[in-house]
Amino acid sequence: MSDPLYDDPEFLELYELFPRQQKGLAGAGEWPDLQALLPSVSNRSFLDLGCGFGWHTRWAAENGASRVLGLDASKKMLDRAIATTDNPAVEYRLTDLDNLDLEGETFDVVFSSLTLHYVADLDQLFTTTRAATAAGGSIVFNVEHPLMTGPTKLDAIDHHGTTVWPVDRYADEGPRTRTWLVEGVRKHHRTVASWVNGLIDAGYSIDRLVEWSPTSEQVAENPAWEIDRTRPPFLMVAAHV
């Protein structure tokens, strides 16, 4: 997780071109469904693991969170988040999630968007967040779907006139090195069962699991998302203490 990928100038320049970074949450097609999994944050403390430019931390503060802490391993992204956040309830902290220390802190809502697939020791992270989740509190996150992190090659193929998404090495969990914007991007593949059971083993109770794909209406507005109707790009999970 300490990989300085998001501080690499070439990567960051390309990353900033994504609609979700240009438009914020309005550019993230999955956000309405992820938001629906979140409890009310009004007068509650909110922890954002991998906060990036701070889109979700600002959303939490704007919706009444009493305290918001955004953690990220990228100094450049945190610099941008700090520069674009004007709310005394929000704090940002440079943190490697593989060495997360929340001792003495508690949060009502633990949140993460498209970050935890970079974490090498997920069991340790869930143990740490569980210890810091207040009684009655929640954890909600989304990650790249295991159908995305597992295959050797991320390419759809034509099979007798039908577009299919080949899956191999699904049961072989562990790091995967990809070319994503730049070469050498490391992510960690886990099965759906491992994501869910990791939470259960840490002491959370599962509330909801969503394998997100865009609607037909969203695809009509964004034709490039058609492939995401073939296989879900994101896995969303909500759990509570």
The tens digit of pLDDT for each residue in 109-150 reads 999 999 999 999 999 999 999 999 999 999 999 999 999 999
pLDDT for position 1: 57
The tens digit of pLDDT for each residue in 185-236 reads 899 999 999 999 999 999 999 999 999 999 999 999 999 999 999 999 999 9
Q: Indicate the helix (H) or strand (E) that contains 127.
A: helix 122-131
The domains of the chain, with CATH numbers, are 4-240 (3.40.50.150)
Question: Is residue 72 within 8 Å of 94, Cβ to Cβ?
Answer: yes
CA atoms of 91 and 237, how far apart (whole Å): 25
pLDDT for position 45: 98
Both structure tokens of 90: 């929000």
21 against 138, higher pLDDT: 138
CA atoms of 233 and 213, how far apart (whole Å): 7
